[in-house]
Structure 1
Amino acid sequence: MKSALLHVSVPFVLCVALVNTSLFDEVQVDLSYDHYAEKRVDYLPGFLAMPFNCLVNLAYIYMGLYWLLWRRGDKETQQARYMREVFAVMAVYYAPVQWTRLAVLRRGPAVLDQWFTLPIFAWVPVWISFIESRPTKWSASRAAALELFSVLTYGLALAHERGFEGALGCHVALAVYKGVRMQWGHGDLRTLRYLLLAVMSCTGFVMLKLLDHWLARHWLFQRLTGHFWSKVCDVLQFHFSFCFLTTLTQRVGLQGKTAAP
């Protein structure tokens, strides 16, 4: 767990430092409560200004800690545990980033909220590559290079006002492609169910956020808004990705042991 914490914390702190410089002053981010359909509650403190959109971040922390502390005994190798723990630490760290963005409405947290999303999605192909290559052939340097490339793709946000959306779309597409290919080669009905639920949750995450204000026209989405439910879908997307990847990690690892002379 110490390695996972270190390897997530160091680049995270560097990104925090960079977003508080003038480097990203031209990036298009929303810095107003008008961007969200949920109404601000003036008598509540800033960290609860939009209660539901703020408190939903506790679900990220709970889910992240659940998978961080999850145990499989002797069935999980040290490398497999590292893959799981890095993903879980990312989930835990993501919660205060989003919460801070809502609480202070400043450029730094808003940029970090976008930026940190990219290496989170990139970890899915990294994990799948680990499963496909088997532990003895897995390259940590290649994984680090992919994560670094993912971080650098946020530079597209500096080149175009929709650069972040383009980068995120590529990350999502790659994660889904790798997941489908992994399912085709090694999955069963159980992992297929996890994959479908993860993809459905990802779709809900994107669509509900985009339709936040339109959905608020209907009473059902005026308190628990589309943005709130998009975050619920995001948590479920994390969870079902964990289910899919941990199940396949165990299955392929056991197959490798069986095939070994």
Structure 2
Amino acid sequence: MMTALLHVAFFCSLCVAVAMSGVFDTVLVDLGYEHYAEKPVSHFPACLAMPFNSLVNLGYLLLGVYWLRSRTEGRGGYFKEVFALMALAYGPTQWLRIATQGRLPAVLDQWFTLPIFAWVPIWCSYIAGGWSPRYALVVEVASLCSYGLALSHELGFELALGCHVAFAVVQGLRVQRRFGDRQSLAYLGAAVLSCVGFVVLKLLDHRLAEQLWIFRHLSGHFCSKVCDVLQFHFSFLFLCRLTWREKQARSK
């Protein structure tokens, strides 16, 4: 547990330090409540100004605590702990972005997303071929550096994120073919569908609010974050299932 905590704390601290240096001050990020379909409530404190978009971040915290408390033996436990701690770090970061509408948390909100997705192929690599610290380091560093694309183009972050998602799905399919069963396939399918919901609902945030009144409160952005929590959860289920199946196959 301590090793996983130091791992996540180191990379989070590195991101915060770099972001605070001003390197990403020119990155295009959405600042201001006008970018969200949910209307702010003026008499609520800043941390709850958009109640649904704020409170949905509790989902990441609950998810992280749940998976930290679940038992997974061996090296697989380390991968699970890192992934869970990433969820625990991401939730407050996004909540801070919603509450302050500040540039620093907005940049970190985007940046943290990339290594979270990158952890999936790292875990898949462990399942397929064992633990390789060098591979994990290369993927994580490449993931963090890919945020530099946001400096070169206004859609640079979206391009980096798309590559991360594609890489995660391809690696997931790869280990599913080798070690998977129907249950793991169902988890993988649910994770991919949740990811699609995460992307599409966020893009349609304002359009949905224009079409249906309920989305002016339970907005597309809120629903996309629900999907994000679900894709996190189903990814845990998928990867833990395959970790167990690979271990069973190796012990025969």
Q: What's the TM-score bracket when you normalise by the shorter of the two chains?
A: over 0.9
Name the counterpart of 1:250: 244
Task: Detail structure 1 runs of 4+ shifted over 4 Å in the superposition.
Answer: none
Tell me the percent identity. Answer: 58
Q: What is the aligned partner in structure 1 of residue 204 from structure 2?
A: 211
Identify which of 78, 81, 87 aligns with 1:85: 81
Q: Could you say which residue in structure 2 is the equivalent of 1:241?
A: 235
**CA drift at 1:21:** 2.2
The answer to whether 1:133 aligns with 2:129 is yes
The 8 Å contact of residues 183 and 192 in structure 1, kept in 2 or not, is answered as yes
**Residue 227 (structure 1) aligned with residue 221 (structure 2):** yes
| Superposed displacement of residue 221, structure 1 | 1.1
**Structure 1 residues 195-206: aligned runs within 5 Å:** 195-206=188-199
**2: CA distance between counterparts of 1:155 and 1:63?**
29
- In the aligned structure 2, how far is the partner of 1:88 from the partner of 1:11? 14
Q: Deviations over 1:9-48 (max 9, x none)?
A: 0110121122122211110001110000000000011111
Answer with 204-213 or 9-18: which moved more.
9-18
Alignment of 1:149-164 (within 5 A): 149-164=142-157
Give the count of matched residue pairs: 251
Matched residues in 2 for 1:133 and 1:22: separation? 39
SS of the equivalent of 1:161 reads: coil
Query: What whole-Å deviation, never above 9, does each CA across 1:139-160 have from its counterpart, x for those lacking one?
Result: 1122111111100000000111
Residue identity opposite 1:114 in structure 2: Q
1:183 positional shift: 1.2
CA shift at 1:245, angstroms?
A: 0.2
What SS does the corresponding residue of 2:8 show, helix, strand or coil?
A: helix
Residue 163 of structure 2 is aligned to residue 167 of structure 1: no
Which runs of 5 or more residues in structure 2 are unaligned? none
Cα-to-partner distance string for 1:180-213 (whole Å, 9 max, x where unaligned): 1211221111011000000000000000000000
Instruction: Spell out, residue by residue over 1:33-74, the C-alpha distance to the aligned partner (whole angstroms, 9 max, x if none).
Output: 0000000000011111100000000010001110011014xx
Separation in structure 1 between the aligned mates of residue 192 and residue 22 of structure 2, nearest angstrom: 36
Aligned partner of 2:42 in structure 1 is 42
TM-score norm. by structure 1 comes to 0.95
Does structure 2 retain, via aligned residues, the 8 Å contact 1:8–1:90?
yes
CA distance in 1, matches of 2:217, 2:161: 28
Q: How does 1:47-66 map onto structure 2 within 5 Å?
A: 47-66=47-66
Q: Return the alpha-carbon distance in structure 2 between the equivalents of residues 99 and 220 of structure 1.
A: 22
Query: Which residue in the other structure is 1:122 paired with?
Result: 118
Distance 2:234 2:241 in 1: 10
SS of 1:216's equivalent in the other structure is helix
State the alpha-carbon separation in 1 of the partners of residues 32 and 220 from structure 2. 17
The amino acid across from 1:101 in the alignment is R
**Structure 2 CA distance, aligned partners of 1:71 and 1:196?**
24
Superposed CA RMSD: 0.8
Aligned to 2:70: 70
Shift of residue 253, structure 1, vs aligned partner? 0.9
The DSSP-based 3-state class of the residue aligned with 1:31 is: coil
Provide the secondary structure at the position in 1 that maps to 2:5. Answer: helix
Per-residue CA deviations over 1:83-104 (Å, capped at 9, x if unaligned) read 1000000001000100000111
Which residue is equivalent to 1:22? 22
User: What residue is the counterpart of 2:106 in the other structure?
Assistant: 110
Query: In the alignment, is the contact (CA less than 8 A) between 1:19 and 1:109 conserved in 2?
Result: no
